[in-house]
Structure 1
Amino acid sequence: MKLDAPAERPRAALGQLIRNAMTIDVEDYFQVSAFAPHIDRASWPERECRVEANIERILALLATAGVHATFFTLGWIAERYPAMVRRIVAGGHELASHGYAHQRASDQDLATFTDDIERAKALLEDIGGQAVLGYRAPSFSIGSANLWALDALLAAGYRYSSSIYPIKHDHYGMPDAPRFAFYPNGPDGLLEVPVTTVRLMDRNFPAGGGGYFRLLPYAVSRWMMRRVNASDRQSAVFYFHPWEIDPGQPRPEGVDAKSRFRHYVNLARTQQRIEALTRDFAWDRMDRIFLGKQ
């Protein structure tokens, strides 16, 4: 499968209020891909889980701000914290899939990937009591080498994905992909909604969260998102993880300096910055913005 002349969604009309998508990737600190060489998956059940407490803080933050968001949730987490998943749904938020076991899509074959996304979808729908329409691959691990994954998602009953990041990165990215929501196989297929980038000097720069949001001054992130809303007339897609508002999380041994810096930089400032985002922009769920769901 090739990404050839994909159909893109239209821009917002001038004067139209642009709502941006607030998204949370629900996983715990020990499950991040950068820690995979240092943390054995078999040790996950014995490790201190902090995701439930962090999600409670996030739900309170969003409720105070009157913001509804999309929670891309790991099946592994949902299985252990079903009451947390139900609180997400009860708060008026969208429940979406982050797969079951936080394995990169690029490390799986079709059969393994299909089993993972179907298992996660069924589990989340059973717990949350609502249809799961969206999926985000761990570490944005769908790209030019495994675009077959988009067909597998559609076949599994998903309506959209947010798994292709149109940037150049050492762990992921597809720089030549469209920057905004598009249909790789036409309007009857799966909708792909990339995390937001800003186009400067013929290059896409990350503008939608993660480590870049923690590293750069808040004013830079705000400027980039405002540029996307004002100049591109497009909704921005922002993401963060529950562990990013948790500076007191355990620090596993053996993690290399680069991964350690990326993971821990400015954790103590993240919640305050997210609160600022909720004041500076209009927000909503992915399904409402991109699928027109009421």
Structure 2
Amino acid sequence: MTTRQGQGRQVSDMQGVVNALTVDVEDYFQVSALAPHIPRESWSHRACRVERNLDRILALFERRDARATFFTLGWIAERYPAAVRRIVECGHELASHGYGHERVSDLGPAQFHADITRAKALLEDIGGVAVKGYRAPSFSIGRSNLWALEVLAETGHRYSSSIYPVRHDHYGMPEAPRHPHRPTGRGGILELPPATLALAGRNLPAAGGGYFRLLPYAASRGALNRINRVEGQPAVFYFHPWEIDPGQPRIPGIGLKTRFRHYLNLHRMEARLERLLHDFRWDRMDQVYASALAGEPQQATPPAAAPELA
């Protein structure tokens, strides 16, 4: 793997903070919001598009010399082991998204234990690397099921990125800390929340996904700039392979809000990601938060007096 020192990296080096780039590896028919319209038993009969989308993402990251963490479903890994191995071979971190994209809020402790144990074993066997990280499908760990963090620790996971400190109709724990913390106390699993912007007493989503497609790029860039330069903290950004795929099949019968959220600006997503990778510095979760994972206090980077990006 060659290291490129192109214009993109020179521009982004004006900022001292390295952010965490993450991908939730699932296909369009596995999205929780579409579950009422797509029976789980139909998954195996649908045309899977995740492998070709992963190839495009890996090529994009290679062009921009960016490394990322891929939170991967065991269901996907089982069917596309070569794609999982390519992720590892390209220098990215392999992490878990569970096996079958079931919300943790729909599972009991025993079911959750079985799901994450199965996924972790699959990913480690296929990828040949230790899996340290986990992200709950649809950020489905919150105040009612914090027991899941203890189960994650018991099964050998080192960190989670599952608690989104925002208000949302499907997930969120707005009172949770915005930056790295250990919800179950000293020695417990490290929680690395998706990025938020604190404004007028509320936490606003700034981590990517549908918000990145909905809002003008300048809004996302401004939020990340504030987190990096004013707060001196890394930001955790995420997206899905299906979000760069405007040609994916349209699911009939879904409501207007779900249709809007899922299909909006898919045709613009890849170009926006190009800009994002150009404007900021990025790395894997386990590298960005290496000190915190080692048990050292997480220090904020002194705010940078960098010029505004064009």
Aligned to 1:69: 68
Aligned to 1:291: 290
Alpha-carbon distance in 2 for matches of 1:174, 1:95: 26
2:269 partner letter = T
Aligned to 2:155: 156
Aligned to 1:107: 106
Matched, 1:198 2:234: no
Alpha-carbon distance in 1 for matches of 2:280, 2:185: 31
Matched, 1:131 2:130: yes
Aligned to 2:25: 26
Provide, for residues 181-227 of structure 1, a one-character-per-residue CA deviation record: whole Å limited to 9, x for no partner: 11112341100000000000100000010111000000000000000
2:191 partner letter = E
Alpha-carbon distance in 2 for matches of 1:117, 1:237: 22
Aligned to 1:207: 206
Aligned to 1:40: 39
Identity of aligned residues (%): 65
| Aligned positions, number | 280
Alpha-carbon distance in 1 for matches of 2:244, 2:47: 16
1:196 partner letter = A
Alpha-carbon distance in 2 for matches of 1:185, 1:138: 20
Aligned to 1:88: 87
| 8 Å Cα contact 2:194-2:236 kept in structure 1 | yes
Aligned to 2:273: 274
| 8 Å Cα contact 2:15-2:280 kept in structure 1 | no
Three-state SS of the structure 1 residue aligned to 2:67 is coil
With structure 2 as the length reference, what TM-score do the two structures score? 0.89
Runs of 4+ in structure 1 over 4 Å off? none
2:270 partner letter = Q
Aligned to 1:12: none
| 8 Å Cα contact 2:70-2:95 kept in structure 1 | yes
Q: Using the TM superposition, give the Cα deviation of residue 290 of structure 1 relative to its aligned residue in structure 2, in angstroms.
A: 1.1
Q: Which runs of 5+ in 1 are unaligned?
A: 1-14
Alpha-carbon distance in 1 for matches of 2:73, 2:191: 19
Aligned to 1:122: 121
Q: Using the TM superposition, give the Cα deviation of residue 291 of structure 1 relative to its aligned residue in structure 2, in angstroms.
A: 2.7
Give the alignment of 1:108-257 within 5 angstroms: 108-257=107-256
Q: Which runs of 5+ in 2 are unaligned?
A: 1-13, 295-310
Alpha-carbon distance in 2 for matches of 1:133, 1:46: 31
Alpha-carbon distance in 2 for matches of 1:290, 1:235: 9
Q: Using the TM superposition, give the Cα deviation of residue 16 of structure 1 relative to its aligned residue in structure 2, in angstroms.
A: 8.3
Q: Cα RMSD (Å) of the superposition? A: 1.3
2:30 partner letter = Q
